[in-house]
Structure 1
Amino acid sequence: MSSSEKQSTNLFPDLPPYRPPQHGLLSYLPSSWVPYGELMRLSRPIGIVIIYCPYLFGAVFAAAVSDPSPSPDSLLKTALVLLIATVFLRGGAVAFNDLADRDLDGKIARTRNRPLARKAISPRNGYIFVAMQAAIWLAILAQLSRKCVTYAIPLLVLVGLYAYSKRVTDFTPVPLGFTVAWGVFIGSVAMGVDPTRLMLDGEIPTAAALFCFYLSSAVWTNIYETIYAHQDIQDDEKHGVKSMAIRLKGKVKLVLYLLAVLQVSLLACTGWLIGAGAPYFAGSCLGVAVSLGVMIWKVDLTQPNECWWWFSNGTWFVGGSIVFGFLGQVWGDQELQSLLDRTH
């Protein structure tokens, strides 16, 4: 047993020591690759979905405001390329976050066996791995548009700032929200709708709608990240880790409800600015309101397993509602126009 493993065992004598994965994707990797697969969180693909959602949001937003609307094949192709890129973005982002937290992670029960915390990967190799992931991510985005790369560069800065934000603020979900939601802009640009060009061309309502949509995605991140953080709240308190979950203890659900109202209001403002119809408001507004309301009402923040379940499954309810609302706007308008054309 290595010295790092002995230290982890001493900190958590009632918990089992690290064991290599026995099932799932990681169990099929060569043993030397397993720590890097763990570093990318390949065993928890829900993280890819969560980070991918804003990219998909941006793409469907662009489809809804474009005239003419893009073909389904074009939208699907762009969405798939963005998904592939997200795998590497997420891998690099969580690896960089683990590098920043490698000393702290070993003191937290849930994160004690992360590869950097248990010293299965050296910091030097960790940084090389992060750089490789970022380079692959940018190369994939470049296949869509050079402008995507231009908008991607600020995101690298935001990722770096977020990784160290917990050292200076209790409200770490706020910078995380602005970071994750940045995908809205990249997804929109990938479909040919550039927010900078919108403002230069005087299309202020559409630009404002895109900004409202970005803010709504940032608020959503604050909601699910606060629920997620309750998994570690006891260890975080013990080791003095800054957390919004700790800062708002006793009134977390009230704040989550207020954030839900804010998110739905921003989605409604987005729809109003682009002149959306009933399909959008039914899906992206009503659907999100119901999903968030049920999630916040049902989740027991004292139970880590429940926090994880609602964190992972709530993504499908909320994210799916937003996407289907926009798709209803795109294809609902196309069907209406086809009907009008036939009647004339």
Structure 2
Amino acid sequence: MNSKTKNEKSHSAEEASAFQNNALEQQYGGGHAGGWVGRLPSSWVPYVQLTRLSPPAALFLIYFPHFFGVILAAIIQRSPVSQVLRASLIMLGGSFFFSNAAHGWNDLIDAPIDKSIARTSKRPIPRGAITPRAAFVFTATQAIGAASFLLLMPEGSGIYAIPNIIGTCYYPWAKRHTNFAQLVLGFCLAWGIIMGSCAMGLKPFTGGPFGGVDDNGWKQLFWAEPSIASLFLASILWTVIYDSIYAHQDIKDDIKVGLKSIAVLFRDQTKPLLWSLLGCMIALLYTCGNLLNMGIPFYIIAAGGSLLSLGAMIANVNLKESASCWWWFRYGFWLAGGAIAGGLLSEYDS
């Protein structure tokens, strides 16, 4: 009986692992075609796969920080609900097109490498479902679509998008140049907080090339509104945490092809680093709340929720198993992002 039970458990574990790996290959490996995607014209499906729209995790990776910026600015300015809803919808539309453009650009640059990595070899460009020329045209049209939403934002907001555009264009090469590509990605995603603040008419910088001028007509020192800066840095660390876990899926292939990442640099010592980063992230969320005298619900929901969700992810993920990394990445970022958004909303509603 014991032997039979052990065999059944082993078989079940193998089935679960195979299922998770299949889901991983479909959803981020470029092969997802079920659900609503299956109802689309066949010529559209590769573009949905290219942009990671099913499931829409990639879209919300980009939208969450924009939403954080909108709500934080609303808290600072005591903005009406109508303004918050308008800015949130503008950020959602812009995030949709920006996400499409960013993923198209990333896959276009990474296509030669993706061919040699098992998990990514079936993405639309490596497998030939989308030609590089078609991918470039698609990416350009999506970038134009994203830029059009800047016209709906307060005057002068466009200049704030420039650092993010530069960072996003560079990111595919960052994986070749530095082990800290996750920091580059974190900067690009967290910049959504800056754009969300701009959408609410709040200039996030108090000085420097993006900031204001003092009473004597002199440029102030380059700095950001402290609470925005704290949330911005916390969001960078949030990205570094979940993307480092995500990067462990391909660590063996990355080493073979010469790609760099925090996962490649730290390998078996990644978890101690992630615990340190999580501590810094929680401290920054606390600082953000303290600077604006936020109520207890913000600390419980945003800081406490992030600590529990990301702490559970770091503690339980098996970095040597791709399926485990995918599972915790997939659910861990949703929980932490929802916690931060919920904490900010609790303060805005109070």
Which bracket does the TM-score occupy, shorter chain normalised? 0.7 to 0.9
Q: Percent identity?
A: 37
Indicate the residue corresponding to 1:128 in structure 2. 137
Report the alpha carbon displacement of residue 277 of structure 1 after superposing the two structures with TM: 2.3
Cross-structure match for 1:163? 172
Which residue type is aligned with residue 200 of structure 1?
Answer: G
Match of 2:254 among 208, 211, 236: 236
What TM-score do you get using the length of structure 2 for normalisation? Answer: 0.84
Quote the Cα distance in structure 2 between the aligned partners of 1:305 and 1:80. Answer: 34
Residues 142-181 of structure 1 mapped to structure 2, 5 A cutoff: 142-181=151-190
Q: Tell me if the contact between 1:88 and 1:133 (Cα under 8 Å) persists in the aligned partners.
A: yes
Q: 1:34 aligns with which of 21, 33, 45?
A: 45
Contact 2:30 2:120 in 1 (8 A): no
Please state if 1:84 is matched with 2:89: no
SS across alignment from 2:118: coil
Alpha-carbon offset, residue 155 of structure 1: 1.4
| 1:177 alignment partner AA | G
Q: What corresponds to 1:254 in structure 2? A: 272
Residue 224 of structure 1 is matched in structure 2 by 242
Aligned to 2:191: 182
2 CA distance for matches of 1:315 and 1:20? 22
**Aligned counterpart in structure 1 of residue 341 of structure 2, from 310, 323, 326:** 323
**Letter matched to residue 156 of structure 2:** K
CA–CA separation in structure 1 for the residues paired with 2:318 and 2:260: 21
| Aligned match for 2:150, one of 133, 141, 144 | 141
Q: 1:193 corresponds to which residue?
A: 202
Q: Which 4+ runs in 1 deviate beyond 4 A? A: 18-22, 201-206
Q: 1:171 to 1:330 in 2, by over 3 A?
A: same
- Aligned partner of 2:293 in structure 1 is 275
CA distance in 2, matches of 1:210, 1:245: 29
1:196 and 1:254 map into 2 onto residues whose CA distance is: 34
Other-structure match for 2:124: 115
Give 1:72 deviation, angstroms: 2.5
Once residues 256 and 270 of structure 2 are traced to their aligned partners in structure 1, the CA distance between those partners, rounded to angstroms, is 19
Q: Distance in 2 between matches of 1:97 and 1:19?
A: 13
Report the 3-state secondary structure (helix = DSSP H, G, I; strand = E; otherwise coil) of the residue aligned with 1:182.
helix
Q: Structure 1: which 5+ residue stretches go unaligned?
A: 1-14, 333-344
Query: How far off is 1:171 after superposition?
Result: 1.5
Could you tell me how far 1:21 is from its partner in structure 2? Answer: 5.5
For the aligned residue pairs, the C-alpha RMSD in angstroms reads 2.4
Contact (CA 8 Å) 1:206, 1:274: kept in 2 or not? no
Deviation of 1:306 after TM superposition, in Å, equals 1.8
Q: CA deviation at 1:200?
A: 2.9
2:60 to 36, 49, 52: 49
> 1:141 Cα shift?
3.2
Q: CA deviation at 1:201?
A: 7.3
Q: CA deviation at 1:236?
A: 1.5
Quick check: 1:26–1:38 contact (8 Å CA) kept in 2?
A: no
**Residue-by-residue CA offset, 1:155-181 (whole Å, 9 max, x unaligned):** 111101111101111121011111111
List runs of 5+ in structure 2 lacking aligned partners: 1-24, 215-219
Distance in 2 (CA, whole Å) between partners of 1:147 and 1:285 is: 33
Amino acid aligned to 1:263:
M
Cα contact 1:181–1:217 (8 A) shared by 2:
yes
Contact 2:254–2:260 (Cα < 8 Å) also in 1: yes
1:215 equivalent among 233, 247, 251 = 233
Is this contact kept in 2: 1:54–1:182, CA < 8 A?
yes
